[in-house]
Chains A and B, each alone.
Chain A
């Protein structure tokens, strides 16, 4: 399993193009929004939590089809399916690798973009906390969606149609944590619910994704 994780990470870093782009996309969203809505600090501060979460979510979406599509095309997914580790573990490891190169990077980059969007100082802690708690759920839900459409040619658009509705609860709670944090309110309830979604998604979705992969490899 560790070998698989290292392989995926190495591929992500060396192949280029895929995962670094997510971060650049996130940066561009944070730059374009002030250009669109105007530079008033108070407006930006009010919409910053939502914009940052939507931006992170879309950036995460960009690289989802890479989780399984390349391995499916060159046949290594068949090898992984016959490997001695269960397919559920393969899914979990691949989702973890996806999170390490996108979710974690987005989480670390988010405070800088928070400054760009004039997010109040006390919100930054909760921005990082909510992204750290929420982006793992985005990765594993995305891995499930990618497993569903892995057999479809040019399934990228279909993937976003399937995955975005599944992202709704994560987005609502994540943005709510940042909004409350920025206004200095109590964040415990949405943060716990967000962590609950992440834990539940990681517990259940690798099984659903593995089932979908088995159907697609049949």
Chain B
């Protein structure tokens, strides 16, 4: 029993058919509980008022936007090294989800920044690098769409994903060069240190993060299943054309 068994599309379809409802259920449950808890049952912050509650969407989507790219990088590497088609399709399936999370993080950040910083947008290192991450997602998706042959497209996007990762990290540090920016640092990992996130916010935030992770996994699995089916359909059509 090894993880490579799931490279077999049949095995993948069987397993994912069982897994998807559970993961999707977990996502719905956690998101409903976490967001209701976060939006209605937590106290207002003494400085930020109720705008602090945007945290429950902003932080998990921002985390998942980066993690989605990392997942695409790993899937691309697996495709390049071991030539498992499911892996390439999973990378393709994850890209639009990652782009959506990036956009949600940017938009919710703008909603929070307008009352707090007095501006929708600032050329702050964190904001700028997220915008650039969004551009990388766009280029990646566009390249998938532009190339007709599926294997060629998978190879080229995998190479682009690897090179893009290096340059995305470089951009992250390059824009830090201007200033340290308006955006505050992360407080999630500061449990036990001074100035931690209050538990009243921390617990629902963790529930939301779990919910968004489950949402991402469920969406990617569903989209990968769609891609596998599309491949099978193409194969069937090709076989029919040959038979005629």
Binding site for B on A (CB under 8 A): 144, 148-149, 151-152, 155, 158, 161-162, 164-166, 168-169, 172-173, 176, 190, 193, 197, 204-205, 208, 211-212, 215-216, 218
Report whether A162 and B174 are in contact in the complex, using a CB–CB cutoff of 8 Å.
no
Chain B: minimal CB distance from A142 (Å): 12
Instruction: Scan residues 158-174 of chain B and give those whose CB is less than 8 A from a CB of chain A.
Output: 159-160, 162-164, 166-168, 170-171, 173-174
Contacts A158-B146, A165-B167 aside, 12 further interface pairs with beta carbons under 8 A come to A148-B156, A149-B146, A151-B152, A155-B146, A158-B143, A161-B138, A161-B142, A165-B136, A166-B163, A197-B170, A215-B152, A216-B156
Measured CB to CB, the nearest residue on chain A to B172 is: A169
Tell me which of B135, B142, B159 has the highest count of chain A C-beta atoms within 10 A of its own C-beta.
B159
Counting CB contacts under 8 A, is B155 at the interface? yes
Interface size, chain B (Cβ < 8 Å): 27
Chain B: minimal CB distance from A119 (Å): 20
Chain A: minimal CB distance from B165 (Å): 11
The 8 closest A-B pairs by CB, nearest first: A169-B174, A169-B170, A172-B174, A165-B135, A215-B155, A168-B171, A162-B139, A166-B167
Chain A: minimal CB distance from B59 (Å): 24
For B138, list chain A residues within 8 Å (CB). Answer: 161
Counting CB contacts under 8 A, is B147 at the interface? yes
For B139, list chain A residues within 8 Å (CB). Answer: 161-162, 165
Report whether B171 and A165 are in contact in the complex, using a CB–CB cutoff of 8 Å.
yes
For B168, list chain A residues within 8 Å (CB). Answer: 165
* Complexed CA–CA distance, A197 and B177 (Å): 15
Report whether B171 and A162 are in contact in the complex, using a CB–CB cutoff of 8 Å.
no
Judged by DSSP, the binding face of A is helix
Measured CB to CB, the nearest residue on chain A to B157 is: A148
For A151, list chain B residues within 8 Å (CB). Answer: 147, 152
For A162, list chain B residues within 8 Å (CB). Answer: 139, 142-143, 160
Q: Name the contact of A169 in the complex, choosing from B159, B162, B171 (C-beta under 8 A).
A: B171
Please list 28 pairs of residues, one from A and one from B, whose beta carbons are closer than 8 Å in the complex, sorted by A's number: A148-B143, A148-B159, A151-B147, A152-B147, A155-B146, A162-B142, A162-B143, A162-B160, A165-B132, A165-B139, A166-B163, A166-B164, A166-B167, A168-B167, A168-B171, A168-B174, A168-B175, A173-B174, A173-B177, A176-B178, A208-B159, A208-B162, A208-B163, A211-B155, A212-B159, A215-B155, A216-B152, A218-B152
* Complexed CA–CA distance, A67 and B58 (Å): 42
* Complexed CA–CA distance, A202 and B165 (Å): 17
Chain A: minimal CB distance from B201 (Å): 34
* Complexed CA–CA distance, A204 and B164 (Å): 13
Report whether B132 and A168 are in contact in the complex, using a CB–CB cutoff of 8 Å.
yes
Measured CB to CB, the nearest residue on chain A to B145 is: A158
Report whether A152 and B167 are in contact in the complex, using a CB–CB cutoff of 8 Å.
no
Report whether B146 and A212 are in contact in the complex, using a CB–CB cutoff of 8 Å.
no
Chain A: minimal CB distance from B42 (Å): 37
Measured CB to CB, the nearest residue on chain B to A216 is: B152
* Complexed CA–CA distance, A162 and B135 (Å): 8
Known A164-B135, A168-B132: A148·B160 in contact at CB below 8 Å: yes
Chain A: minimal CB distance from B154 (Å): 9
Tell me which of A148, A151, A152, A204 has the highest count of chain B C-beta atoms within 10 A of its own C-beta.
A148
* Complexed CA–CA distance, A91 and B153 (Å): 20
* Complexed CA–CA distance, A162 and B159 (Å): 12
Chain A: minimal CB distance from B103 (Å): 16
Measured CB to CB, the nearest residue on chain A to B155 is: A215
Q: Name the contact of A176 in the complex, choosing from B135, B142, B160, B177 (C-beta under 8 A).
A: B177
For B147, list chain A residues within 8 Å (CB). Answer: 151-152
